[in-house]
């Protein structure tokens, strides 16, 4: 028996090739793309402008399916969080954050994460595996049409789009799952699929320098960089990847990226950790880092109040401190925002729930894998999951 192909795994060019394999013309691929990504269709029989013979052929060889939904919760503030089953005991999260003039979807790119930042709970689960294209774009596909259904909005290009922005800020380090991430990004931007502008799609990275350069060439979307520290010694202890790509190299990579970026600034994310990285002196050091006379980095700062979890041994900076820190940056002319916590009542502000469904054997396996990464990147070990734009 031939294995069935999930058409969510295919980007526009791959769908053309797939149609060619079936002896079909390229315009069929465009029709398929529209049915899948604009109408949310998963049943080939609904694709009424395809010949019956082609629909039958597709039904016997292909399918269209996103990861199964394990749970689906909506917060009192409207934030909606899905927990998705990506097989082998792994689960990832997708979060929708509605705002007045936009709807942002925060998606995951890996089950677990190998980077192991000290303040991030995803790392605590260890690295499990990279998500496929279908599992990444499937989050957008599933969420867009579930949101429309809830509001009674028709599928198709004429129906009001619910998701206007995407942030890759869920579980995982997108640049360590490069190809599937870029393929999913291309689908997000494609006019026959979601047609989002590059400015409305943001990739967040802990700073995988060579892959930032590749992204600038292959699919330059808006960039957020998780900086979290104002000097290398501190960043080494919070983001182990810093030992490989220290701040100077990271800042240079940001400047190179900006030549190709859809926005003229990088967003620096900064997780506010009580007594660790939140003093005025740290803020002044950050200013010197990004306003380096010879080579400044046009940027904006997004301060994220730390979402505590028990094993971290870290605490959230208090609000007065966060505001004072923001003021130092703003007084130096740097646009600074403080991320508001959304979906607290459904645990959408960090990925705890994904941990609850893991079974213990799998956790052990992941921990073994983590040990390998610890040897490579250092012994710190944390978890990543953040939501919100």
Report if residue 115 touches ligand SF4, rule: CB under 6 A: yes
Span interacting with ligand SAH, options 10-18, 85-93, 177-185, 204-212, rule CB under 6 A:
204-212
Q: Which is nearer to ligand SF4, 339 or 383 (CB)?
A: 383
Q: Is 93 a catalytic residue?
A: yes
Residues 265-284 that bind ligand SAH (CB under 6 A): 269, 271
Report if residue 128 touches ligand SF4, rule: CB under 6 A: no
Report if residue 388 touches ligand SF4, rule: CB under 6 A: no
Report if residue 206 touches ligand SF4, rule: CB under 6 A: yes
Identify the DSSP state of 294.
Answer: S
In the bound state, the residue with its beta carbon closest to ligand SAH is 386
Report if residue 386 touches ligand SAH, rule: CB under 6 A: yes
Contact criterion met (CB below 8 Å) for 235 and 251: no
Q: Is 386 a catalytic residue?
A: no
- CA–CA dist 251, 203 (Å, integer): 16
Token output for 154: 């028709």
Report if residue 305 touches ligand SF4, rule: CB under 6 A: no
Residues 323-362 that bind ligand SAH (CB under 6 A): 350
Q: To which H or E segment does residue 26 belong?
A: helix 26-33
Instruction: Tell me how far apart the terminal alpha carbons of the chain are, to the nearest angstrom.
Output: 45
- CA–CA dist 285, 228 (Å, integer): 12
Closest CA to 384 of 182, 177, 104: 177
- CA–CA dist 205, 224 (Å, integer): 6
Which positions ≥6 away from 192 have C-beta within 8 Å? 12, 30, 33, 34, 37, 38
Residue 350 binds which of ligand SF4, ligand SAH, none (CB < 5-8 A, kind-dependent): ligand SAH
Count Cβ atoms within 10 A of the Cβ of residue 69 and give its class: 0-12 exposed, 13-18 middle, 19 or more buried.
Answer: middle
- Choice from 31, 79, 122, 389 touching ligand SF4 (CB under 6 A): 122
- In angstroms, give the least distance from the CB of 119 to ligand SAH: 5
Catalytic residue among 93, 144, 269, 386: 93
Catalytic residue among 19, 117, 350, 386: 350
- CA–CA dist 52, 45 (Å, integer): 8
Q: Which is nearer to ligand SF4, 34 or 383 (CB)?
A: 383
Report if residue 11 touches ligand SF4, rule: CB under 6 A: no
Q: Which residues are catalytically annotated?
A: 93, 350
């Amino acid at each position: 028996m031939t294995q069935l192909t999930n058409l969510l795994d295919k980007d526009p060019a791959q769908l053309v090739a797939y149609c060619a394999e079936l002896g079909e013309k390229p315009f069929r691929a465009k029709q398929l793309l529209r049915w899948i990504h604009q109408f949310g269709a998963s049943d080939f029989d609904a694709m009424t402008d395809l010949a019956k013979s082609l629909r039958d052929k597709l039904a016997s060889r292909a399918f269209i399916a996103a990861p199964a939904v394990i749970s689906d919760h909506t917060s009192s503030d409207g934030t909606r969080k899905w927990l998705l089953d990506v097989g082998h005991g792994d689960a990832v999260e997708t979060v929708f954050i509605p705002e007045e003039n936009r709807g942002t979807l925060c998606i995951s790119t890996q089950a677990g994460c190998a980077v192991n930042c000290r303040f991030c709970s995803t790392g605590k689960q260890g690295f499990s595996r990279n998500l496929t294209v279908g599992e990444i774009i499937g989050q957008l596909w599933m969420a867009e049409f579930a949101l429309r259904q809830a509001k009674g909005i028709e599928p198709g290009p004429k129906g009001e789009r619910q998701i206007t922005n995407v942030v890759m800020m869920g579980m995982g380090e997108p640049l360590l799952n490069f190809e599937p991430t870029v393929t999913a990004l291309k689908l997000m931007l494609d006019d026959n699929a979601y047609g989002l502008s590059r400015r409305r799609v943001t990739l967040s990275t802990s700073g995988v320098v060579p892959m930032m350069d590749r992204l600038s060439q292959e699919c330059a979307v808006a960039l957020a960089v998780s900086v979290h520290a104002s000097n290398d010694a501190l960043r080494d202890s919070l983001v182990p990847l810093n030992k490989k790509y220290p701040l100077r190299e990271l800042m240079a990579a940001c400047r190179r990226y900006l030549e190709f970026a859809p926005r003229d600034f990088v967003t620096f994310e900064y997780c506010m950790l009580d007594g660790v990285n939140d003093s005025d002196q740290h803020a002044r050091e950050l200013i010197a880092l990004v306003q380096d006379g010879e080579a400044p980095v046009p940027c904006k700062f997004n301060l994220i109040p730390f979402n505590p979890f028990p094993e971290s041994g870290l605490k959230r900076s208090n609000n007065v401190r966060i505001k004072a820190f923001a003021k130092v940056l703003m007084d130096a002319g740097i646009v600074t925002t403080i991320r508001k916590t959304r979906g607290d009542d459904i645990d959408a502000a960090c990925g705890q729930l994904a941990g609850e469904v893991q079974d213990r054997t799998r956790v052990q396996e992941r921990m073994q894998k983590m040990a390998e990464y610890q040897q490579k990147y250092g012994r710190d070990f944390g978890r990543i999951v953040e939501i919100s734009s």
